[in-house]
């Protein structure tokens, strides 16, 4: 695909994704509300003006934080889809409720195709180009973007029509968030019982206690963070609420007390040594 790709939201995930695209030979530009000077050697590829970014990029990959920032980018504050010259393809990689994806679709201008493609793997896998993508959207549109997905990840699941990728992601992330709370409580229990938490993690990696979070504890840059609405533990909180929103919108029963316990566990998370 020879068209220019823009990555909007060049943070812990977006910037390494943009770098992987550039290394694969794509024409890539970045956009962020932070000053261009903060992006080091990637600064020449950053476009500070939203209108110029919208006009330059045929495809925009959105990696902003949440549904509000997605709407700001697309329709409100930056409004890249309200420009005379705007992207032909929009890929939402942020984890939001599937209902938010369909709300964006309802506001799309004529001529712009929407694909939902949330990713999993944390920044260390974004840097390595080994992300997992969960994709929903039109077959032809997704096929055209496959070279870009494979530049950023090693596993790409096209799961069905628009919204299917995000549905899978919020359910997946509910499991991930639950395991974060469980592993943290296990580490606290190990310390209370006088057992080395590091040894516990070693054993769990090769036994029935294995989890993505515990298995990669030393690779995940946010693994020891305490809760803050602005950090990755706060993002997990947002992901659980997106999962619950998806269930509420479908008339399904939420996992009640368990979901409440997961949210409480995330919000009570203290920094780990």
**Catalytic residue set:** 169
Structure tokens at 52: 């110029």
Report the C-alpha gap between 126 and 130 in whole angstroms.
Answer: 6
Q: Are 154 and 252 in contact (CB under 8 A)?
A: no
Ramachandran bin of 79, using left for φ above 0, alpha for ψ from -120 to 50, beta for the remaining angles: left
Nearest-angstrom CA–CA distance, 95 and 24: 25
From 114, 116, 125, select the one nearest 152 (Cα to Cα).
Answer: 125
Buried b (16+ CB within 10 A) or exposed e, 195-219: eebeebbeebeeeebebbbbbbbee
């Amino acid at each position: 695909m020879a068209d220019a790709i823009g990555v909007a939201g060049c943070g812990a995930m977006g910037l390494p994704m943009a770098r992987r695209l550039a290394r694969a030979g794509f024409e890539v530009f970045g956009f962020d509300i932070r000053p261009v000077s903060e992006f080091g050697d990637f600064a020449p590829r950053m476009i500070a003006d939203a209108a110029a970014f919208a006009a330059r990029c045929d495809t925009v990959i959105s990696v902003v934080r949440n549904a509000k920032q997605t709407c700001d980018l697309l329709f409100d504050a930056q409004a890249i889809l309200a420009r005379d010259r705007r992207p032909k393809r929009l890929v939402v990689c942020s984890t939001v409720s599937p209902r938010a994806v369909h709300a964006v679709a309802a506001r799309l201008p004529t001529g712009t195709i929407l694909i939902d493609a949330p990713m999993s793997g944390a920044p260390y896998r974004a840097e390595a180009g080994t992300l997992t993508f969960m994709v929903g959207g039109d077959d032809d549109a997704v096929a055209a973007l496959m070279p870009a997905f494979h530049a950023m990840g090693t596993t790409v699941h096209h799961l069905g029509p628009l919204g299917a990728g995000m549905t899978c992601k919020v359910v997946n992330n509910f499991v991930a968030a639950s395991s974060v709370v469980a592993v943290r409580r296990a580490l606290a229990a190990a310390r209370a019982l006088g057992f080395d938490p590091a040894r516990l993690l070693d054993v769990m990696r090769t036994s029935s206690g294995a989890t993505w979070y515990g298995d990669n504890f030393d690779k995940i840059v946010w693994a020891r963070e305490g809760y803050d609405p602005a950090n990755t533990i706060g993002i997990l909180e947002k992901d659980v609420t997106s999962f619950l929103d998806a269930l509420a919108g479908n008339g399904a029963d939420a996992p009640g007390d368990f979901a409440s316990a997961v949210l409480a566990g995330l919000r009570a998370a203290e920094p780990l040594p």
